Chains A and B, each alone.
Chain A
Amino acid sequence: MSINGPDTPHSPGPSLWPIGFAIGIACLLLGLVISWVIAAIGAVLAIVFGILWALDVTRDVRGHVPAITPETRAAAAQAEAEVEAPEEPLPAYTRSRFLEASLIGLSAGMGAVLTLPVLGFMVLPSFTNIDEDEVDLGPLDNFPEGEYVIATYLSKPEQGEVSRRTAFVRNNGSSEAGEPSFTILYSRCVHLGCPVQPNGPIDEDAIKKIKNVELRPVLAQSFGCPCHGGQYNAEGNRTAGPPVRSLDRYSFSIRNGKLILGELYAVGNVSGTGANATIAKYPWSVPGTHVDGLESWLYPIVPSQVTG
């Protein structure tokens, strides 16, 4: 029995390991923002020092390691002399303790085998196999130069209306390098995800339908969100209201004279206009998350960076 009664609080002696642990954690958090290598070093530091700390703190509970005296001839002679002396009962790791520990360990293992796949199934499908297909918007002459066209389509036709997406497409003509240029804004407001609307009349009579896609010309050089009043200019830059970045954009390609919508990306800010615009491109992220500036440090890793 220990000297202290079971109810007497006792605190472990001072230890330096928590300092190493704290440095590891700080390094890990810093690494999340700066680079994976530093994060990995921080994680290793935190784990190593954490284990050392835990070993230090639990030393009393785990029992003392018997101090082994180096063997000498004198000790050996003494040991021979002591053979007749009654042996002190050794601290034993009893059979019932062993069974108790194995039972708890086995049950924990079985529990993990049962629950981990189930939890994985709850969480992982939201992050895997969620790529959306490319969308064919039809021939380029559907898009008159300098004017916006609203393109709506079902990104997953088998899912129905819940997968309807809207893009605002403007043909910028040719860039200085002579390549075709399009500004394709995604209608999801980057404040909290409501559907951004063009600030201008839609020409419903000029509607064109190409397979799953509907195209409507619109006379608008700005966009607004009905939910909380966010306003964007023709380049998708915020002009008023709560949005934290510029409207998301589609990457695009042109195949056989047809405009193909590709992946979405987030935009920090657009300087310049149309074909000569400079776009600050970032991995696609949730509305309301900053992609540039100091606040972007709050979102070091977003799902699209991991799941592609």
Chain B
Amino acid sequence: MVDLAVLAPLDWVDERTGAVRGTKWFLFRNVPRDISWAQTLGFGTLIAFAVQTLTGAILAMYYKPASEIDPTTGKPLAYASIEHITNDLTLGWLVRGMHRWGASVFVILLFMHMARVFLFGAYKYPRELLWITGVLILAMGMLMGFTGYLLPWDQTAYWATVVGINLNGTAPFAGPWLSQFLAGGAEIGSDTLAKWYALHMLLIPGALIALIGIHLYLVARLGITSPPWSDEAAGRERPVRKPTGARAGLVRPGSGSK
């Protein structure tokens, strides 16, 4: 019965996609015996990011990224929509609170995860690219915080962003250009809020999701490091290959040097 209802369809799918084998490859890994809670920080960061993604997508259903003043309330549309989410809509206060506080949780977990990797020496061979993608994820996470802070469009958000944009403007050579790009003109204008919303909602999360995908793939491929005090070998067993041996066939023989 189980065979027919569950296993047979799984086999059918796996035969055509390799999805079951892929899931097993991803999840059923050996980990060192002496790992601890410290190694769960990365997954915690992932969960925090998932919460941000979900709550953010739903907040976007009610938020209006417009600086224009609503003539009936006399308030900017963006600020009024935040007030509406927080005060009027059922459970809006909760979801906005999750997104707002979750942003800090995400960044704090990012740093704790980074500290664990650094102190355990888990960035060393063969995990250098894990560290580098992690640094890019950190940069994207900070950009998410920077762009998201403007969206409530209150005095704190506005002036913090003015200062943030002008801080970028003091970078040598490219700074003034970067700040004018971020502000959408010589100073913050009516297009700035929508631009930052698009950055916060679409461009940066897109990059972040791609980077997290690469990061996770590398984690699954290389396995988890043993702690520095461990006697056990770390990570997944790797087939011994000649360095660059995998390159054969990438460029057709005889096409380059003869």
Contact = CB atoms under 8 A, between A and B. Distances in A.
B172 A160 contact: no
Contacts of A188: 187
B168 to A, nearest CB: 9
A284 B179 CA distance: 14
Nearest to B161: A193
Contact of A286 (B68, B176, B189, B244): B176
Contact of A299 (B162, B176, B181, B243): B176
A60 B257 contact: yes
B184 interface: yes
Interface string B86-126: 00000000000000000000000000000000000000000
Contacts of B165: 193
A288 B188 contact: no
A289 B178 CA distance: 13
B257 A161 contact: no
Contacts of A1: 253-254, 257-258
B163 A194 contact: yes
A289 B68 contact: no
Contacts of B180: 126-127, 286, 303
A145 B188 CA distance: 33
Contacts of B189: 156, 159, 162-163
Interface string A54-77: 000000110110000000000000
Given A162-B67, A193-B166, A299-B173, A126 B184 contact: yes
A286 B245 contact: no
B186 interface: yes
Contacts of A193: 162-163, 165-166, 187
Contacts of A194: 159, 162-163
A256 interface: no
B257 to A, nearest CB: 5
A259 to B, nearest CB: 22
Contacts of A156: 189-190
Chain A residues touching B, majority SS:
loop
B190 A6 contact: no
A64 B244 CA distance: 25
A87 to B, nearest CB: 17
A63 to B, nearest CB: 6
Nearest to A132: B186
A289 B169 CA distance: 7
Contacts of B248: 6
Interface in A77-93: 91
A159 B163 contact: no
Interface string A150-193: 00000010011111000000000000000000000000100111
A26 to B, nearest CB: 15
Interface string A188-211: 100111100000000000000000
Nearest to A58: B256
B182 to A, nearest CB: 8
Interface string A84-123: 0000000100000100000000000000000000000001
Interface string B221-249: 00000000000000000000011110110
A6 B253 CA distance: 10
Interface of B: 67-69, 76, 159, 162-163, 165-167, 169-170, 172-173, 175-177, 179-181, 183-192, 242-245, 247-248, 253-258
| 10 smallest beta-carbon distances between A and B, as pairs | A286-B169, A288-B170, A298-B172, A159-B190, A193-B166, A192-B166, A302-B176, A130-B185, A192-B163, A286-B176
26 contacts: A2-B258, A7-B243, A61-B257, A125-B184, A126-B180, A126-B181, A126-B183, A126-B184, A126-B185, A159-B68, A159-B189, A162-B67, A162-B189, A163-B189, A193-B165, A193-B187, A286-B169, A287-B166, A287-B169, A288-B170, A298-B172, A298-B173, A300-B173, A303-B180, A303-B186, A304-B186
